[in-house]
Amino acid sequence: MPMTTADKRTIFRKMHESGCFVLPNPWDVGSARALQHLGFKAIASTSAGFAWSIGKADNRVTLEEVLAHLTALCAAVDLPVNADFEGGFAHEAEKVAANVTRAIETGIAGLSIEDSTGDPAMPLYERAVAIERIKAARSAIDAGGSGAVLVGRCEAFLVGQPDFTIVIDRLNAYAEAGADCLYAPGIRAKEQIATLVKAMDRAGKAEKAEAASEALRRALALHPDDAHTYYYLGEIKRLQDQIGEAALLYEKSVGCTESHI
């Protein structure tokens, strides 16, 4: 019997609560089904991968294209699907909420909201605006009673502002605004990851940290045969052997995280 959307969301939340896991990024229905066949327990869309697969640059796809893509992924596999929902495809919090509502209707089990603006002159939303955008996404999820997981992303390291003070402050604020998971992409060294984990732990939010190692992101280029090997030789341990100790560090320090490959 096919898994229901409610089942997928329940499973995805329990995965976050129970430990560390690998969350691979398919770019289309075929790659999603291949990853399910390999035994992965959940998948996450990739904005760049999807955009490239339809001949566009990252962050240049439309809301309608992404919604159709998410609908197709959710229908194609009996796995929870987490959505790379970029910046919510809107600037204003109210419009972010409206778009999140539409995203939830595709059947996703979770989604992320970024705080980058796409404007080189002001690459991050003002702190207060970014917090309101997370609150709006949280309200949209709660209004429908979906139980979908909300990931709050701080893009500081990706937009040329590699300041841990900014990252830690914003991630804590996003957690208080309702984010279930926290993500700071672009953090590469295990020492940096440890600093972030400890900061979240002091704030009582370590369980909401999401792996942000750039090394994990590089594994996206794995050949399917390699993906098979990575999964069946013991997801996180095998990744640790290949790309360093980032994933294992998170597993020991956080106890609950997801790692994107």
Question: For 111-126, how does the pLDDT look when each residue is reduced to its tens digit (9 = 90+)?
Answer: 999 999 999 999 999 9
Alpha carbon separation from 115 to 101, 140, 156 (Å, rounded): 19, 17, 8
| Domain count for the chain | 1
Compute the Cα dihedral for 145, 135, 105, 12 and give only its sign: negative
Q: Name the one residue in this structure whose structure tokens are 């339809």.
A: 54
Sheet containing 81-84, strands listed edge to edge, beginning at the edge strand earlier in sequence: 43-44, 81-84, 110-113, 149-153, 181-183, 209-210
Contact status, residue 179 vs residue 150, Cβ threshold 8 Å: yes
The separation between the first and the last C-alpha atoms of the chain, rounded to the nearest angstrom, is 29
Rg over CA atoms, the chain = 17
Q: What is residue 21's predicted lDDT score, i.e. its pLDDT?
A: 83
pLDDT of residue 248: 45
Give me the DSSP letters along 123-139.
-B--HHHHHHHHHHHHH
pLDDT of residue 32: 95
Residue type, 112: S
Q: What 8-state DSSP symbol labels residue 3?
A: P
CB 196 within 8 A of CB 223: no
pTM of the model as a whole? 0.82
Residues of the chain with pLDDT under 50: 206-224, 228-233, 235-236, 239-240, 242-257, 261
Amino acid at 111: L
Domain carrying residue 208? 5-260
Copy the structure tokens of residue 243.
Answer: 């790309």
Q: What is the pLDDT of residue 194?
A: 82
Q: Which one, of 108, 179, 177, lies nearest residue 144 by Cα?
A: 108
CA–CA dist 100, 89 (Å, integer): 9
The overall average pLDDT reported for the chain is 83
Q: In CATH, what number is assigned to the domain containing residue 111?
A: 3.20.20.60
